[in-house]
Chains A and B, each alone.
Chain A
Amino acid sequence: MGDNVLLEVKNLRTYFFLDEGVVKAVDGVNFKIEKGKTFGVVGESGCGKSITAQSILRILPPRGEIVEGEIIFYRDDGSVDLVKLDPKGQEIRDIRGKEVAMVFQEPMTALAPVYTIGDQIIEAILLHQNVTKEQARKIAIDLLGRVGIPKPEERVDAYPFELSGGMRQRAMIAMAISSNPSLLIADEPTTALDVTIQAQILDLIKNLQKEMGMATMLITHNMGVIAEMADDVAVMYLGKIVESGPVNEIFYNPKHPYTVALLKSIPKVGKKVKGRLESIEGMVPDPYNLPTGCRFHPRCPSYVEGTCDKAEPPEIEITTGHKVSCFLYGGR
């Protein structure tokens, strides 16, 4: 495998130290992203998806701290542990936006309202590429065309508020890919969009990825988006990856009771369930007061008393690349 790995996250723990207590937002997470592949991260609100992404880019909000772990970024000429870099230093700034780019759910928060989208893309290009301002403008127009913005030579001078949500997301993607990144982190890139526009954007990301050979870390809470896009999938629950593996394994051979329940509880178009949906009972626990043992045990239908509530289940590889952390599959 080694050769194809672009990013490897080992035992990452990112905590928030607040007056109310410690929030273990990411608590011992391991995964690998392969070159050119789409790595999907799925899980409910608050499970730590965004904080994982922000840990990689070292853009954590105040009071958030990586307390343990490694984030190894592999390049042709060696590797670097992003955890060891100074979050304000030059090295991470060079990586951010150039080798690793990011798009967010709400492009309005990432695009400055007082500058035209052209200005912002040009600035990103000038930051990482050795070109003149005129050349940068040409590149920007070309990029806007590539992401499907009609009349890019006019739209380059538009302000973000003059564009629709879908167009803004395209502009943001244009900015992100301007430096040919080897990894694109997309945090809920289509959640705020209408379904027909969402389909367009997902298709765009897929095509750009093929064209440019870029890997994508795609964060979403939508299982449909994962099924559509991901090669590999990690399912997160309360700061941990409870199951991960190739997309077909996760959808057709899910092992973790949480993954199984999650897949059953989504009303699927075309598969009308008569009567009640199967639901996961109980609530997502309070982050200051995490359950002992397996964090899913209070809601788990297969919970074994004396085992699941006592120790954390170890990660077990069931078949190549398909890993699950649950006592039902060993480790007792």
Chain B
Amino acid sequence: MGSNVLLEVKSLKKYFPIQKGFWRKKVGEVKAVDDISFYIREGETLGLVGESGSGKTTTGRAILRAIEPTEGEILFNINGTLINILQLNKKELKQTRKHMQMIFQDPYSSLNPRMTVKDIIGEPLLVNGVARGKELEDRVAELMKAVGLRPEYMIRYPHAFSGGQRQRIGIARALALNPRLIVCDEPVSALDVSIQAQTLNLLQDLQEKFHLTYLFISHDLGVVEHISDRVAVMYTGKIVEIAETEELFKNPKHPYTEALLAAVPKPDPKYRETRKLLFGEVADPSNPPSGCYFHPRCPYAKDICKQEYPSLINIGENGNEHFVSCHFADKLSLAGIE
């Protein structure tokens, strides 16, 4: 790990209790995030992909401590000092949180319908005592311009904006306190294709302009490939593969990544009928299979896969990192894209 690492996550776990009956007795656990480790470099975009319920949102929220992780370390680099987010008290957390923000999937429900755009974008500034009055208004206008909204619309309510515009309001709010890291949770999934491209371009422009670091969560592999420098693939609460974007797409090393890449319908009729289908269903994080969680669906599984969980190891060559959690990571020859 180099010195320009902004965030390092070590052995992060988040288990949700499953409760039953009147006494809410704990009868089990959903291992939503189950011992994952990764880092993000300053200024880079790490893509996080995986199917529904694989633990992407939980990971994002745990990093910001929007939910309390069960275990692990979250190290955040503030001007050369590593701070473990999980050991901060309330006051310290509030200070540190300024540096980390989140953008949500649903631009409809994540904005308070009774607040004007000015109040929504200005709230973090007011709450943290950064600006008020005329200064606040100027800063909100500046933020609105940065995301391509007209400052004249400051006194309007969210319902008067389109989906893409509401997402821009959410982005402006996230930018208000000059954060270093933004967790983008499916920021374009609810948007129309033509608006998606605009929003992705905006996120890229802002990253350059404000030197932002993104954890970019999405289940759309096309979007993730476009925006990410590196990509992590999750399956049932575990990270099964992390590599540079191009490497991961061209040269996947985990059978699940291969299957995921094959399953995406490509917007080009020449790929018809070339797909390999993955059978079976996504594993249940409250009752994961034995051994490698992917083994019941894996076309390459052998006996050992049913017995032992394969640890995440680096099989990259020439000093490149390519982490994979598969017993046969360095033996299988898997198909990527093109």
Interface residues of A (CB under 8 A from B): 44-45, 164, 166-167, 194-200, 202-203, 221-228, 247-248, 251-252, 261-263, 265-270, 272-273, 275-281, 283-284, 299
The residue among B198, B269, B279 with the most chain A CB atoms within 10 A of its own CB is: B269
**Would A279 and B198 count as touching, CB distance under 8 A?**
yes
**Would B266 and A228 count as touching, CB distance under 8 A?**
yes
In the complex, what's the smallest C-beta–C-beta distance from A260 to chain B, in angstroms?
12
| Chain B residue contacts of A278, Cβ below 8 A | 197
Within the assembled complex, what's the spacing in Å between the Cα atoms of A278 and B225?
Answer: 16
- A265-B337 contact given A227-B268, A247-B269, A276-B204, CB 8 Å threshold: no
Across the interface, B267 reaches (CB within 8 A) one of A223, A272, A279, namely A223
**Would A227 and B269 count as touching, CB distance under 8 A?**
yes
| Chain A residue contacts of B197, Cβ below 8 A | 265-267, 277-280
**Would B269 and A248 count as touching, CB distance under 8 A?**
yes
**Would B219 and A194 count as touching, CB distance under 8 A?**
yes
**Would B282 and A196 count as touching, CB distance under 8 A?**
yes
| Chain B residue contacts of A269, Cβ below 8 A | 221-222, 225, 249, 261, 264, 266, 337
**Would A198 and B193 count as touching, CB distance under 8 A?**
no
**Would A44 and B192 count as touching, CB distance under 8 A?**
yes
Q: Which residues 189-213 of B have a CB within 8 angstroms of A?
A: 192-198, 200-201, 204
**Would B249 and A266 count as touching, CB distance under 8 A?**
no
13 interchain pairs (CB within 8 A)?
A167-B281, A199-B278, A228-B269, A262-B194, A265-B197, A267-B223, A268-B222, A268-B266, A275-B204, A277-B197, A279-B198, A280-B197, A283-B164
Within the assembled complex, what's the spacing in Å between the Cα atoms of A226 and B272?
Answer: 10
**Would A284 and B192 count as touching, CB distance under 8 A?**
yes
Within the assembled complex, what's the spacing in Å between the Cα atoms of A261 and B192?
Answer: 13
Q: Which residues 254-281 of B have a CB within 8 angstroms of A?
A: 259-269, 271-272, 275, 277-279, 281
Q: Is residue B338 contacting chain A, with contact meaning CB distance below 8 A?
A: yes
Within the assembled complex, what's the spacing in Å between the Cα atoms of A121 and B337?
Answer: 40
Within the assembled complex, what's the spacing in Å between the Cα atoms of A248 and B271?
Answer: 12
Considering only CB atoms, which chain A residue lies closest to B161 in the complex?
Answer: A283
**Would B269 and A221 count as touching, CB distance under 8 A?**
no
**Would B192 and A195 count as touching, CB distance under 8 A?**
no
| Chain B residue contacts of A279, Cβ below 8 A | 194, 197-198, 201
**Would A227 and B193 count as touching, CB distance under 8 A?**
no
Within the assembled complex, what's the spacing in Å between the Cα atoms of A93 and B165?
Answer: 42
**Would B282 and A197 count as touching, CB distance under 8 A?**
yes
Interface of B is mostly: helix
Q: Which residues 288-309 of B have a CB within 8 angstroms of A?
A: none
| Chain A residue contacts of B277, Cβ below 8 A | 199-200, 203
**Would B222 and A196 count as touching, CB distance under 8 A?**
no
| Chain A residue contacts of B249, Cβ below 8 A | 269-270, 272
**Would B193 and A266 count as touching, CB distance under 8 A?**
yes
Interface residues of B (CB under 8 A from A): 51-52, 162-165, 192-198, 200-201, 204, 219-223, 225-227, 245-246, 249, 259-269, 271-272, 275, 277-279, 281-282, 337-338
Across the interface, B265 reaches (CB within 8 A) one of A194, A227, A270, namely A227
Within the assembled complex, what's the spacing in Å between the Cα atoms of A269 and B204?
Answer: 18
In the complex, what's the smallest C-beta–C-beta distance from A136 to chain B, in angstroms?
28
**Would B219 and A195 count as touching, CB distance under 8 A?**
yes
Considering only CB atoms, which chain B residue lies closest to A250 in the complex?
Answer: B269
Across the interface, B264 reaches (CB within 8 A) one of A224, A251, A273, A299, namely A224
List 8 A-B pairs, minimum CB-CB distance, nearest first: A224-B265, A270-B337, A279-B197, A267-B226, A280-B194, A265-B197, A223-B267, A194-B51
**Would B222 and A228 count as touching, CB distance under 8 A?**
no
Q: 15 extra interchain contacts, Cβ-Cβ under 8 A, other than A272-B225, A276-B204?
A: A44-B192, A202-B265, A224-B267, A265-B196, A266-B222, A267-B227, A270-B249, A270-B266, A270-B337, A270-B338, A275-B204, A279-B197, A280-B198, A281-B198, A283-B164
**Would A224 and B266 count as touching, CB distance under 8 A?**
yes
| Chain A residue contacts of B337, Cβ below 8 A | 269-270
- A284-B162 contact given A224-B264, A228-B266, CB 8 Å threshold: yes
Considering only CB atoms, which chain A residue lies closest to B227 in the complex?
Answer: A267
- A272-B245 contact given A262-B194, A279-B198, CB 8 Å threshold: yes
In the complex, what's the smallest C-beta–C-beta distance from B266 to chain A, in angstroms?
6
Across the interface, A266 reaches (CB within 8 A) one of B267, B271, B338, namely B267
| Chain A residue contacts of B246, Cβ below 8 A | 272
| Chain B residue contacts of A270, Cβ below 8 A | 225, 249, 266, 337-338
Considering only CB atoms, which chain B residue lies closest to A199 in the complex?
Answer: B263
In the complex, what's the smallest C-beta–C-beta distance from B168 to chain A, in angstroms?
11
**Would B193 and A283 count as touching, CB distance under 8 A?**
no
**Would B269 and A251 count as touching, CB distance under 8 A?**
yes
- A225-B164 contact given A194-B51, A276-B204, A277-B201, CB 8 Å threshold: no
| Chain B residue contacts of A275, Cβ below 8 A | 204
Within the assembled complex, what's the spacing in Å between the Cα atoms of A44 and B162?
Answer: 13
| Chain A residue contacts of B262, Cβ below 8 A | 199
| Chain A residue contacts of B51, Cβ below 8 A | 194-197
- A276-B265 contact given A199-B277, A266-B193, A269-B337, CB 8 Å threshold: no
